[in-house]
Amino acid sequence: MSAILCGRAAVILPASGGLLCAFLVAFPLPGGAQDRTGTAAPPSNALQADTRPHCQVTGTHDISITCDYTPMPMDSSKPSGGGHIALNHAELSFKTKDDNWMRLELRFTNLGPTPISVARLVYIAFDDDAGRNFIRRPLPHVNLAALAPGQPADFEERLLIGALRPGHYQIRLWIPSSDPGLKFNAAHNLLISSLGVADENSGLNRIADFSVTH
């Protein structure tokens, strides 16, 4: 018995002179698993990237940030005393030199079956990579208790902020407990039910990052 290759099949020539054809098995190629159609699937690190917020940052001194987020499945998101609230979209624009008015838009969705029972004040914070806080402002127009189940709602703010020194910054939402005695207890903060946003260790919700240059 002998064999020759024709395209993607192996043609086997038995001693009897008949013709048999068996398709070759496709094995995964380096750098990605191959699916049934022969198209290489993305590597595992590319799949992990899909769980992170998708943000576009433009500008150096006049900065604009636009981000989209993916809600967590209900069976994997963990409510922290305030229900299942997803952040869907965020837009920010501000200057890094001198005092200026920052424009902020946030879109939230109540993923749960009932309205939010407890109103919490939402804060926005700018921290450097070492955790030092440079800006923290309350967002009085962001009323999470007004979110109807399953209905996205947009909130807008205009906030006065100061200049920022060169460096790398994380933008976070801090949503503490409405109980004054628990306000600074991170275990009672509300964590957003969007992929790649909540940080259980700090109790904060990271929504974007950016850099300021000289």
Of 79, 106, 107, the closest CA to residue 92 belongs to: 106
Sheet of 122-128, strands arranged across: 133-139, 122-128, 167-174, 204-212, 198-199
Cβ atoms within 10 Å, residue 123: 17
Higher per-residue pLDDT: 3 or 78: 78
The residue to which tokens 């939230």 are assigned? 108
| 8 Å CB contact between 115 and 150 | no
Backbone angles phi and psi of 115, in degrees to 5 = -65, 160
Largest CA distance in the chain: 89
Q: For the chain, give the percent of residues with pLDDT over 90.
A: 64
- The string of pLDDT tens digits covering residues 66-113 is 999 999 987 655 554 567 999 999 999 999 999 999 999 999 999 999
Q: What is the pTM (predicted TM-score) of this model? A: 0.74
51-212 folds as Immunoglobulin-like (2.60.40)
pLDDT at 172 over 90: yes
Average pLDDT (168-186) is 96
Query: What is the separation, in whole angstroms, between the first and last Cα of the chain?
Result: 74
Does 48 have pLDDT greater than 60? no
Report pLDDT for 75: 63
Domain residue ranges in the chain? 51-212
Residue predicted with more confidence, 38 or 116: 116
Q: How confident is the model over 139-170, as pLDDT tens digits?
A: 999 999 999 999 999 999 999 999 999 999 99
Instruction: Report the pLDDT value the prediction gives residue 93, as an integer from 0 to 100.
Output: 98
Residue showing tokens 């899909």: 50
